[in-house]
């Protein structure tokens, strides 16, 4: 049985930022519950990276604009004969509700930036081995608190990200499902096409080939070059079938 690997590639800066935020929030949740220093360092490192991402660009503004844009797109869909109006109305009300919650939420990352423990750990992360117990006695004692107390604090931190996470989850779900996968064929490991103002490329490839795509381009035009995982002995087939969705 073949295993399909899904690769995603953003075609603009906005989508690149959103995929990074999604990835970092997933990483935060993957280190829970925090019951030893390795979990804690994984958690705080990803939290620091997330705060760094928040400091670049107008993330909240871009998401609010996209929530409105998707509502307008759904409005045009509602004029198509035979469309599922119940589904469209449900999505539009979800988009509107997420937008209201995000608009009234505090500044992105404000709760996290003001937290003393997060700030202390973040300062030491850039120093090799800088989170030893003698460097960070605050973290050391925090790791010895009752598990329930730590869990409560982590839940409070993650709850502050919920308005952003819920809006982003809905948007990315709509974008990912906006285009079907279609079979394409690359010749000698190369494929190019027009992006048609897409935000995201999604590519499915059979693991058996042990190839990965190197994608370049933007929303109007893109190129894909397939490269072998084993750069010395790997083989690139003359014709390679893969599935592609331009979302």
Summarised one tens digit per residue, pLDDT across range 190-212 is 999 987 789 999 999 999 999 99
Task: Let me know: does 194 contact 168? Beta carbons within 8 Å.
Answer: no
**Token digits of residue 46:** 């990803």
> What per-residue confidence (pLDDT) applies to 76?
83
Q: Is the peptide bond before 33 cis (omega within 30 degrees of 0)?
A: yes
**Tokens 């937008």 — which residue?**
99
C-alpha closest to that of 222 among 205, 237, 200, 240: 200
Which pTM does this prediction carry? 0.92
> What per-residue confidence (pLDDT) applies to 114?
95
- Nearest-5° angle of CA 213, CA 215, CA 221? 135
> What per-residue confidence (pLDDT) applies to 162?
96
Task: Let me know: does 240 contact 185? Beta carbons within 8 Å.
Answer: yes
The count of other CB atoms within 10 Å of the CB of residue 187 is: 10
**Token digits of residue 155:** 């839940």
Over 90: is that where the pLDDT of 143 sits? Answer: yes
> What per-residue confidence (pLDDT) applies to 57?
77
Task: Let me know: does 20 contact 53? Beta carbons within 8 Å.
Answer: yes
Average pLDDT of span 131-145? 92
**Token digits of residue 101:** 């919650």
Summarised one tens digit per residue, pLDDT across range 37-59 is 999 999 999 999 999 999 987 89
Q: Edge-to-edge strands of the sheet including 211-217?
A: 4-10, 200-206, 239-246, 182-187, 190-194, 221-228, 211-217
Q: What is the DSSP string of 96-139?
A: HHHHHHHHHSPSTTHHHHT-HHHHHHHHHTTSTTTTSTTT-HHH
């Amino acid at each position: 049985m073949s295993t399909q690997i899904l690769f995603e590639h953003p075609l603009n800066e906005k989508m690149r930022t959103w995929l990074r935020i999604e990835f970092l929030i997933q990483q935060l949740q993957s280190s829970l519950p925090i019951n030893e220093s390795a979990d804690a360092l994984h958690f705080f490192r990803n939290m620091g990276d997330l705060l760094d991402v928040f400091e670049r660009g107008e993330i909240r503004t871009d998401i609010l604009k996209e929530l409105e844009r998707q509502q307008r797109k759904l409005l045009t869909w509602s004029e198509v004969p035979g469309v599922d109006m119940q589904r469209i109305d449900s999505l539009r009300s979800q988009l509107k509700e997420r937008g209201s919650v995000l608009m009234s939420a505090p500044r992105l990352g404000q709760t996290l930036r003001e937290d003393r423990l997060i700030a202390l750990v973040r300062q030491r992360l850039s120093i090799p081995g800088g989170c030893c117990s003698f460097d960070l006695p605050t973290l050391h004692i925090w790791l010895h608190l009752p598990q329930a107390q730590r869990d409560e604090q982590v839940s409070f931190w993650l709850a502050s990200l919920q308005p952003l996470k819920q809006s982003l989850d809905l948007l990315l779900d709509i974008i990912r499902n906006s285009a079907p996968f279609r079979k394409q064929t690359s010749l000698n490991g190369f494929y190019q096409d027009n992006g048609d103002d897409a935000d995201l490329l999604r590519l499915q490839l059979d693991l058996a080939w042990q190839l990965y795509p190197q994608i370049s381009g933007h929303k109007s035009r893109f190129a894909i070059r397939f490269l072998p995982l084993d750069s010395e002995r790997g083989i690139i087939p003359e014709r390679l079938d893969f599935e592609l969705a331009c979302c």
